[in-house]
Structure 1
C-alpha cells in the first residue's frame, strides 16, 4: 500500500447489488479473510469463496477481538472483508492491528484496559480493509475510530491505522433491518452532527455541512426509511458525516452526550441509541440554560432552528429532540436504581470527566443530576450480554 493511498479517505462504493461484484474485484488474487456477523444473511457470502470468521455481534468484546487477531497472525491475509454492523467493523479494524509493526495491537488493548481513550501511533493501516456495513448510522465503515468492549466499559480507540480502504454500501444488505433499527441509525448519524454543532469553535462551512446533512437525514427518515433507495440514501448521508466538513472544529470532544450515554449503555446493558435517548434532552437543557461545560448555547440553538422548522419540530432544542425521539419511537432504558445511578456517574467521571478534556469540569454529582432529569421507561429495554462465541471456517 502506498503512502498516498493510505492518506486517502476510504473509497465509497454504493448501489443495489453492488457488494458482491466489488468484493470480488477488490480481493481478486489476494489472500482474503472475511469477518462476518453470524446472524446476518448477506448475498455476497452465499457463493464467495474465502476463509471466514463468523462472530456473534451481540457478544463482541476484547476476548473476541483477541481471538480474531490470533487468527490473523496465524495466517496473515492481504485483505480483510468486514461484513456486519458497527461492532463487527470495529472488531475487524482493531484485530487487523495485529499485523502492524511495533506491537500496536498489544498497545491498543493494554492501554484500553487502563484508559477510556487510546490514541494510536500515527501510521498507515497494516492491510486493506473492505468494510461492508449491514446496519445504519455508526459510520465505522468510513472513520478512523473503533469501540472496544472490555471488563470496565466501552473504550474508544482512535488512529489513522484503523481506517478502512474501501466502504461498500449496498441496500440489499440493509433490507432486513427493522423500521426501528433504521430510525435508530438515522438518529445516531443526526446526533453526531448535532453534537459537533454544540461547539462555538467551528467554521461557517462546517456548520453549513452539518445543517444540510442533518436536514437531509430527518427528511429522508420521515419520508422513506423502508425502500432500498431510502435506506441507501440514509446510509450515504451517515457516511457523509465523516467525509465532509460537518464534524470538523477546534473541539474534537464536542459531542458530550456520547460519553455519558456510553456509560449508561454499558452499565444498564442497552443499545447505545437507547441510552442516548434517555439523556440527550436533559443534557441539552443544561446547554440551553447556559452551562458551557456541556456545550455552547448559541451554537446548538443555531443548528437546531435551521433544521427544526422544516420538519415541524419545536424550536427549543431540548423540547425538539424529545419530540423527535418520541415521534420515531426510540425507546428509553429502564429507570436505574439509586445504586446504578451512582455507579454510572462515578464511572463517567473516572473515564471522561473532571480534569479530562472530554467532559472538563464535570464530576459525578453533575452526572447524577443529569440522570435524575433524564427520560426513563418502566419496562426493560435492550439486549442482555451473552457469552462470547468465535468460529473460524473455510467457506467453499
Structure 2
C-alpha cells in the first residue's frame, strides 16, 4: 500500500478517535482514593526521599488537609495562589516558580491542592515548563478550544480532531529538554470538573475562557480524599454531581453511533450519579424552589452537608467520567451544550450548572425535533431512560422538562433571563469562539445559536440591542 492510500492512523488526543473509525484510550494517572489517601501518598513521598513543593488555592489555606501538607518534613516550599481569572501571565508565573524551585532546590514533586481552576493553572504551568511554545499557541486565533501537540519536539505535528490545531510556534530557549520537570500530585478540593485526572484545562485569554487539550497534562498521581472536600457546601457537591452527569449525557446524546461497551459504561455512570444526586437532595430541609438564586448556601444553611462517604463517591464518579470507556470514541464535539453554556456562565456571572441546565434542555429540544446536528432522538431517549429509571422521583419521559425538574429538585438555582441586548452579546461570543467555520458548532449559524439561546433562557425586559460588553 502506498503512502497516499494508507488510512490515517496517527494518535489523537482528546476524543481518542482515528479517521478510519478506530479509537484509542489511555489514562496513565494513578488514583489514590479514600479516607487517609493524602496521608498515605505523603508517607510514600517521604519514604522515596521526594522534595515537595506545595501550591495551594488561597481559599483553602486554613483547611486540615493543607495544614497536613505544610507540616510534612518533605515540603520545602509552598505557594498560595488566587486562581480566579487566571490568564496566560499567571500560567507563565507558575511555570517560572516551578522552574526556579526545580533548579535551585532540586524540587522533584509538586503537590497542588485546590479547586479545578487551581489544578488547571498548575497543569498549564507544568506544560509551559515542558514546552515554552504553549502560551503562543494558546493565544493565537479566536478558537475557544485548542488542541496542543502531544510531543513537544514536534510543534507542527498533527493535533486532535477534537479541536482546531494550534499554529506552530518558534522554538524557545527553554525547550522540552531544558530542565527538570517535577512530578505532579493533584488534590481536588471541589467536585465535578475532574481536572485532577483529565487532559484538559481552562485558561483566560483576552478576557475569554479557552479550553486547552493535551495528553501531557494528565498528572502522575491524583488524590481523592474526603478530608480535602470537607468544607464544601451541599449545593456545590450537588452541582458537581450534576456537572459529571451532564458531561456523560452530552456525548451519549450527541454521538449518532452506538457503542456497546461505551454505552454500557456511560449508562451505568448516569444511573450512579442520579442516585447520588437524589440522596444529596433528600438531605435538604428547605424545598428546592425556595433556595436563593443569588448565593450559595453554607453547610447547615439548607439541610445537612454531604457526608464523607457521599463526597468521596461524588469525587470518584466525577473522575471516572474521564477515566472510563464511557466517553472514548465519541464525537469529540457531541456535547454541544457546553460551548453555549460556557459563554452564558461568563456573561451572566452564574455557575456552570446554572447556565448549563437550560442550555442543555434547548439542545435536547432540537434533538427531539429531529435536528441531527445536535444528536439523535433515539439516543436521547436511551440516555434519558437511564436517568428516569434511576431517579427516586418522577422526572417523566420528556428529557427537556425532566432535566429542569431534576435540577430544581436538586436545589440548583434557575438561570436569570438575559435582556435581548445581553442575549445578543452571548450569541455573538458563542459564534466567535466555537462557530463561524470552527469545528465545535460546524454548520450551525449565528441565527440558530441566537434562537436556541432565546428559547432556552427566555428574555428579560430591557432595551434593544446596543453596546453591551465586548462581543467579538
Task: Tell me the equivalent position of 1:151.
Answer: 206
1:335 corresponds in structure 2 to 417
1:245-271: per-residue Cα shift (whole Å, max 9, x none)?
Answer: 111124111011000001111222222
Contact 1:208 1:246 in 2 (8 A): yes
> Residues 277 and 375 of structure 1 are in contact (CA less than 8 Å); yes or no, is this contact kept in structure 2?
no
SS of structure 2 residue aligned to 1:197 = helix
TM-score in terms of structure 1 length: 0.88
Greater RCO (Cα-Cα under 8 Å, separation 6 or more): 1
Pairwise mapping of residues 227-266 of structure 1 onto structure 2 (< 5 A)?
A: 227-266=307-346
Q: TM-score, normalised to structure 2's length?
A: 0.74
The DSSP-based 3-state class of the residue aligned with 1:148 is strand
Query: Partners of 1:108 and 1:148 in 2: how far apart?
Result: 12
Alignment partner, residue 277 of structure 2 = 221
Q: Per-residue CA shift, 1:357-392, capped at 9, x if unaligned?
A: 2111112211211221124698xxxxxxxxxxxxxx
Find 2:65's aligned residue among 11, 36, 44: 44
State the shift of 1:215 in Å. Answer: 0.5
**Superposition pairs of residues 1-396 of structure 1, within 5 angstroms:** 8-26=27-45, 28-40=48-60, 41-46=62-67, 47-48=71-72, 49-76=75-102, 77-101=107-131, 103-111=132-140, 114-123=142-151, 126-198=181-253, 199-224=255-280, 226-311=306-391, 312-375=394-457
Deviation at 1:226, TM superposition (A): 1.4
Using a 3 Å threshold, how does the CA distance of structure 1 residues 108 and 54 change in structure 2: closer, same or farther? farther
Report the 3-state secondary structure (helix = DSSP H, G, I; strand = E; otherwise coil) of the residue aligned with 1:226.
coil
Q: Give CA deviations for 1:83-117 in whole Å, capped at 9, x if unaligned.
A: 1111011111001113214x233334433x64322
In structure 1, how many angstroms separate the alpha carbons of the residues matched to 2:32 and 2:356?
30
Q: In the alignment, is the contact (CA less than 8 A) between 2:358 and 2:404 conserved in 1?
A: no
Alignment deviations for residues 321-366 of structure 1 (CA, whole Å, 9 cap, x no partner):
1111111121233222222111111111111124222111112211
- Which range is displaced more, 74-83 or 312-321? 74-83
Sort the Cα spacing of 1:14 and 1:116 in 2 relative to 1 into closer, same or farther, 3 A: same
Would you say the 8 A contact 1:202–1:250 is kept in 2? no
Q: Would the aligned equivalents of 1:17 and 1:170 in 2 still touch at CA under 8 Å?
A: yes
Distance, in Å, in 2 between the alignment partners of 1:109 and 1:26 is: 33
164-173 or 362-371, larger mean C-alpha shift: 362-371
More moved, 161-170 vs 297-306 = 297-306
1:314–1:323 Cα contact (<8 Å) kept? no
Distance 1:347 1:296 in 2: 26
Residue 383 of structure 1 corresponds to none
Could you say which structure has the larger radius of gyration?
A: 2
Decide whether aligned partners of structure 1 residues 23 and 60 sit closer, same or farther in structure 2, where only a CA change above 3 A counts. farther
In structure 1, distance between residues paired with 2:239 and 2:398? 22
Distance 1:9 1:300, change over 3 A: farther
CA RMSD after TM alignment: 2.1
Deviation at 1:281, TM superposition (A): 1.1
Change (3 A) 1:98 1:118: same
Mean CA deviation greater in 332-341 or 140-149:
332-341
Distance in 2 (alpha carbons) for counterparts of 1:117 and 1:158: 8
More strand by share: 1
Provide the C-alpha distance between the structure 1 equivalents of 2:85 and 2:28, rounded to a whole number of angstroms: 29
Runs of 5+ in structure 1 lacking a partner? 1-6, 379-396
Distance, in Å, in 2 between the alignment partners of 1:130 and 1:257 is: 31
> What is the aligned length?
370
